[in-house]
Each structure stands twice: as structure tokens, then as C-alpha cells.
Amino acid sequence: MAIMVIIEWEGLTPEQYDQLRAAVGWLDDAPVGGRCHVVAFGDDGVRMTDVWDSAEDLQNFVEGRLMPEVHNLGLPDQARLTVLPLHELSLPEGDQILAT
């Protein structure tokens, strides 16, 4: 089942996020099952919303690629995740990708 993940990561700066993105390489080597990744920064850290084909795909990415680099870079690892079943994902062009 497709999921939406809301990530709140207080204290993470744009520079740290960019370091992590480069280290994990998700732009060049997209994670299996990752459909969408949206990022915005506020005064207290980063907010991200992801769409994944399944919770298992998310878990495999987090455990196998993301967290090893979080630890290697010495980044804070207290991000809060909220996982919800996906109801719909649409592209700006109106092409519907996933829906229940």
C-alpha cells in the first residue's frame, strides 16, 4: 500500500540537508519505491513530505542508505515521522499517479 510520510526534523539546516543529499545520492540513484520528495525549511528546521510505494520501501531506504550517512555526518537523528496511507497523488500537469 502506498504511503505518505511527513518528516519534521528540528535543527537540521539547509547546508546539512544538502550534505546528506550528496552523501546518500538519492537524486542520482533514486531509492526503490520513492515517488515524491518535497522539502521546505522554517526557523526551527526542515519539513519534508514523501510518497512511497510501501512502508517496506521506506524502511529499506532509511535503514540501508539514509541512517548510515546521518551517523557518518554526525547529524541529529531525532526526526519525527508521521506515516499515513496515501489517498491520492497528482502531478501539476494533472496526471494522477497513485489513488485509492
Q: What is the DSSP string of 16-68?
A: HHHHHHHHHTTTTSPPTTEEEEEEEEETTEEEEEEEES-HHHHHHHIIIIIHH
Burial class (CB in 10 A: 0-12, 13-18, 19+), 43: exposed
pLDDT at 94: 57
**pTM to 2 decimal places:** 0.87
pLDDT at 98: 46
Per-run averaged pLDDT (10 residues), the chain, 100 residues:
97 95 94 94 95 98 97 92 94 54
pLDDT at 78: 87
pLDDT at 15: 95
Q: Would you say 38 and 91 are in contact if contact means Cβ atoms under 8 Å apart?
A: no
pLDDT at 99: 40
Q: In whole angstroms, what is the distance from residue 74 CA to residue 63 CA? A: 16
pLDDT at 100: 37
